[in-house]
Structure 1
């Protein structure tokens, strides 16, 4: 009897060990939160309607774009980040996205450790992309090393508080919904691991139901794919413009406005809409029922709860809801491209400091300690809309912008500079630029094409 007793005890111990290891193995396949509350808050930066969050990859702290429109995380490898991350188990593949360029070469890597706040995943797949053109930092004025999306959303309930710029990640089993009178809850549909939502637009005096990709990685408000059979087409008040970058190159199309856009009871008026040229979105139209995308300039007007496991999204209006939809009225797209030397006053120099000089053979050298030379960001015109106020004034792609309305560009953030181009129609803009070693000044007025 004693022998039988110890055999049963050993068997139970073995079963317990197997269960623990299998549970650990299972947990490695998804994000788990390492605290008792099974929930964690993370601060993010909101730049040009895009969410930038801190992500730790294989022990290296990086900044990632939170993008509901991507399946697997992407690392931009133009700075050979993969060497620092020590990514392994790789194979070469090719990725296709928006734009009419060729597919992009990437390394697919397995078994990477991803950490977002206290949420961790031990065997995350990622793609390292080598194309130097896929670099968001110059356009945002902030370093972005990669993109993360579906794998985080599918494992956790993700609350995005755009007002407070905080994300809360919660284990689905631990999440408790609160009663809210002023929120709307909508069903999500999924195609290729991407979330879709049903909405309505009023254009050309017609209400049109649309199925939209929820794309938190896009800074625009709304993209619609033109379809005459559904009545989705741009109005006469539109202009052709650069719309953004995709994996396979730049995207161009028409910008306009729709009279109303609705998500159940929530209605937004005079919403910015872009109609991408069909030659740039062939990859996006593989989902035949898709009519476009809902992006950051609409999403930021709500505090949002993404619950992929229950396939629902909850929206609550926030302080941005009634904000007027503006757009860039100058025709200029700026980017941070390299640095330039700037002579500026040294605030650490005391009033008693004087100029020092020496004279030899009739040549006098003076050193003025009140000033110093510093490396500052160089902001360059990288896109210029045809027939825009800036183009008509004589500005060119490649011009380095030194000041806007007498404000030195090196003293401001890129987004602060760009915001000047979003002001009301008639606002006068004075630009001092450097072109081929010469400093030139240009003046123009912002022009609203939709008035």
Structure 2
């Protein structure tokens, strides 16, 4: 799937994970502790970045290293998929039903407390874990690599977390460490409410209106900004929008619209002409009752900065990086990519949108992508492919595809539809 397409797909998936739990056996939320295993003041960890999402290695109990998305919008650790060779040896487990965003039904999960979580130089005791009985997100196929779960608040609440998107490094500091302020950095109040971190920004709408919005800070959402129209009568759709499938929450599919804001402003930083998503009210109804928030701020904005999330001191620091002034693109090709065998270089068209360059040249769901602009896909990682087909409007793309036993070529030009 394209970077922009995945941006849409995940834009509302993660920020409302298991906050709403109805349990056949109500879990007891024990106090957990996450700490450095040495007297070091900080630990630096490399991460992988796919679809703007941060992937880090985590061990649960005596498991092998598992791939987790680091998501500031999620409350509890969630296992979304295990493979035949994975073993967690969970402590006591009770069956629960989890409800989230979307138009579908509750899904079953196992809740387990008293576990051990380990990262390089870090350990968490009495760790609470939810294991989904159904892989509703299909993260591994969409990320092009095995993805086992999502982790968030347990990390952010215990450390000062510095995310360097340029170098793909995560640095965790002890809460008593005082960081030197960089010259280009700006600090913002970080409002922690019920495990969620909120920031206030401004949206300049195309109707000329400017208003302040309260947004969940969400490293696990790969889009720019998502806005909930019912939360403020002054929020309005842009004049040019497109119907879009915005993602899949725990409760099912989420649909809505995509359109551009004149600008989004955070302190002294102004980001012009960025796409925003506007989910349908029915799918986000549970979120409308929480903390009077107007939406969420995703990683397609955050990755233009080095981000320091300081939950212990209620502070956010942003330092612009080399990507800060790059334009925001959205699904320029009009198709999405999945990997049926995660970890391999086999890429399949998983969805084609109507009235897009891909649709007009006859690309269909299920087509295998063999090469792009003369480069064979077997020699490319998923992020490299996404960067190529979602680079800029006007770029010419040549693709070789395979459908059943037939190999054929197509040519098209990347185009913005909003």
TM-score (norm 1): 0.80
The 5 Å alignment of 1:12-411 reads 29-59=32-62, 60-79=64-83, 84-173=87-176, 175-203=177-205, 204-227=207-230, 229-287=232-290, 289-338=292-341, 377-411=345-379
Secondary structure in 2 aligned to 1:306? strand
Which has a greater percent of strand?
1
Matched, 1:437 2:382: no
Whole-angstrom CA distance in 2 between matches of 1:122 and 1:194: 21
- Could you tell me whether the CA contact under 8 Å between 1:432 and 1:441 is conserved in 2? yes
Whole-angstrom CA distance in 2 between matches of 1:424 and 1:43: 28
Inter-CA distance 259–409: structure 2 relative to 1 (3 Å threshold): same
Which has a greater percent of helix?
1
- Could you tell me whether the CA contact under 8 Å between 1:39 and 1:169 is conserved in 2? yes
Inter-CA distance 196–270: structure 2 relative to 1 (3 Å threshold): same
Whole-angstrom CA distance in 2 between matches of 1:80 and 1:251: 30
How many residue pairs get aligned? The number is 387
Query: In angstroms, what is the RMSD of aligned CA positions?
Result: 2.2
Residue of structure 1 equivalent to 2:6: none
Per-residue CA distance 1:243-273 (angstroms, 9 max, x = gap): 3332233433222211111111111111221
Inter-CA distance 84–226: structure 2 relative to 1 (3 Å threshold): same
Greater CA radius of gyration, 1 or 2?
1
For structure 1, the residue ranges without an aligned partner over 5 or more in a row are 1-26, 340-374
Inter-CA distance 177–96: structure 2 relative to 1 (3 Å threshold): same
- Could you tell me whether the CA contact under 8 Å between 1:74 and 1:128 is conserved in 2? yes
| 1:191 shift after superposition | 3.3
| 1:229 shift after superposition | 4.8
Secondary structure in 2 aligned to 1:172? coil
Inter-CA distance 338–44: structure 2 relative to 1 (3 Å threshold): closer
- Could you tell me whether the CA contact under 8 Å between 1:78 and 1:129 is conserved in 2? no
| 1:435 shift after superposition | 2.2
Whole-angstrom CA distance in 2 between matches of 1:295 and 1:311: 19
| 1:228 shift after superposition | 8.6
Secondary structure in 2 aligned to 1:185? strand
Secondary structure in 2 aligned to 1:285? helix
For structure 2, the residue ranges without an aligned partner over 5 or more in a row are 1-29
